[in-house]
Amino acid sequence: MSGSSIGKLFSVTNFGESHGPAIGCVVDGCPPGMELCAEDIQAQLDRRKPGTSRHVTQRRESDTVEILSGIFEGYTTGAPIALLIRNEDQRSKDYGNIADTFRPGHADYTYWHKYGIRDYRGGGRSSARLTAPTVGAGAIAKKWLAQKYGIQVRGHMSALGPIDLTFKNWAAVGENAFFSPDPDSVAALEAYMDELRKSGDSVGAKITVVAENVPAGWGEPLYDRIDADLAHALMGLNAVKGVEIGDGFECVRQKGTEHRDELTPEGFLSNHAGGVLGGISSGQNIVAHVAIKPTSSIRLPGRSIDKQGNPIEVVTHGRHDPCVGIRATPIAEALMAIVLMDHALRHRAQCADVVMETPQIPGNIQTK
């Protein structure tokens, strides 16, 4: 199965299935000499893992990471880093009723037509369980970017269903189960999710991810633009149906005088472009938004067909997130970090000797 790798110089190859013995990834291209231990990676995995609140799937997975290679005496060696996360709480019997049917809105139908075989247990390869290794790889990238460039990659929920969230402060994000930047919104989010869970339905979400202190000059036009690679990576996150860079589709309604980010000796006056101009980082915050669809696996009946094409009604059992966007923030952060580290290494390889007398002006600080 192709399509399981991302990155050129810093590359990540993901493996495993939702109900298999384990999931994991191989991270290749991490420079040698960086101090790294399992705790560095585990801290990020714990932000994503299931069962952390009543609003997410109750599948109980510790997501304990094992580093199998690429580390010697606490430092990266430059060799591939293999990460393994053992599955601990599979309940494959919950999926026996869909072995010969297709859940509407799920990848069951398309996987069957493409491969002629599918692992129906928990979605197999199409499960969001496979985002855990991505978060592990992203933890490595986050640490390297912070040490080498002072880059910080952070994300937050900006909408859950019909509820838009106002950005108030980053401190609030880590203090609630929704990664909400508005502490005053948590009670309303909890009430909404409680009612949604009782109804048996699901809902989508919008996630915003921001990278601060990215230098100007990263990205390779035309087809390896940094925003194109970001969009490609973020669209690889399960259930994502849309990606915006900066103001995204809002630019349709803006005039040129409004959208252009004017430059002054003191810095940029705005950041409508999301920190990317011509596919190359401008030195401003890189800002991306992702739209995540409602969970397809719900316990309300839906029309579908079986393998013979006969009409049926599908009811999905098992443990599922009523909103997969609730746990998506650490995954979006990881994907942005992976792309940024890859471009950092590519820029260093080609343009490390470029000397620029023009000063890099400050970027306008944006939080959304």
For the segment 247-291, what is each residue's pLDDT rounded down to a tens digit? 999 999 999 999 999 999 999 999 999 999 999 999 999 999 999
Q: What is the pLDDT of residue 158?
A: 98
Alpha helices in 81-240 (DSSP H): 108-115, 131-149, 186-199, 226-235
Asked whether the beta carbons of 268 and 362 are under 8 A apart, the reply is: yes
Q: Which amino acid is at 305?
A: I
Annotated binding site for FMN: 125-127, 238-239, 278, 293-297, 319
User: What is the structure's pLDDT at 67?
Assistant: 98
Among 80-94, 166-180, 303-317, which is the least confidently predicted range? 80-94
Which homologous superfamily does the CATH classification assign to the domain defined by 5-351? Chorismate synthase AroC (3.60.150.10)
Residue 73 CB burial class (10 angstroms; 0-12, 13-18, ≥19): exposed
205 forms bridges with which residues in the sheet? 160, 292
If you compute the radius of gyration of the chain from its CA atoms, what whole number of angstroms results? 21
- The rounded mean pLDDT for the chain is 92
pLDDT beyond 50 at 302: yes
Q: Is the pLDDT assigned to residue 68 strictly greater than 90?
A: yes
Q: Which pLDDT value is given to residue 99?
A: 86
Q: Which of 25, 13, 11, 41 is nearest to 140 (CA)?
A: 41
Q: 350 with 254: CB under 8 angstroms? A: no
Three-state SS letters, 29-69: CCCCCCECCHHHHHHHHHHHCCCCCCCCCCCCCCCCEEECC
Q: Is the pLDDT of residue 66 over 80?
A: yes
Could you report the per-residue pLDDT of 169-203, keeping only the tens digit for each?
A: 999 999 999 999 999 999 999 999 999 988 989 99
> In angstroms, how far is CA 323 from the centroid of its own chain?
15
Residue 299 has a pLDDT of: 83
Question: Residues within the annotated binding site?
Answer: 48, 54, 125-127, 238-239, 278, 293-297, 319
> Which burial class, exposed, middle or buried, applies to 83 when counting CB atoms under 10 A from its CB (0-12, 13-18, 19+)?
buried
pTM of structure: 0.94
Residue 87 has pLDDT above 80, yes or no: yes
Per-residue pLDDT, 319:
62
Name the residue type at position 165. L
Place of tokens 């019997």: 93
pLDDT exceeds 60 at position 368: no
**Whole-number pLDDT of residue 367:** 39
DSSP state of 79: S
Segment holding 330, helix H or strand E: helix 329-351
pLDDT of residue 19: 87
Does the structure show a pLDDT above 90 at 52?
A: no
| Beta bridge pairs of residue 76 | 71
Binding-site residues for NADP(+), in ranges, read: 48, 54
Residue 272's beta-bridge partner residues?
A: none
Q: Which residue matches tokens 């991270």?
A: 27
From residue 157, give the alpha-carbon distance in Å to each of 39, 184, 213, 238. Answer: 25, 14, 21, 16
| Residue 366 reports pLDDT greater than 60 | no
Percent of all residues in the chain with a pLDDT value above 90, rounded to a whole number:
80
Average pLDDT over residues 323-330: 94
Q: Structural domain boundaries of the chain?
A: 5-351
Q: CA-CA distance, 225 to 252, in Å (whole number)?
A: 21
Confidence of residue 93 (pLDDT cuts 50, 70, 90): low
Lowest mean pLDDT among 23-32, 37-46, 292-301: 292-301
Q: Residue 222, preceding bond cis, omega within 30 degrees?
A: yes
Asked if residues 210 and 153 have their Cβ atoms less than 8 Å apart, the reply is yes
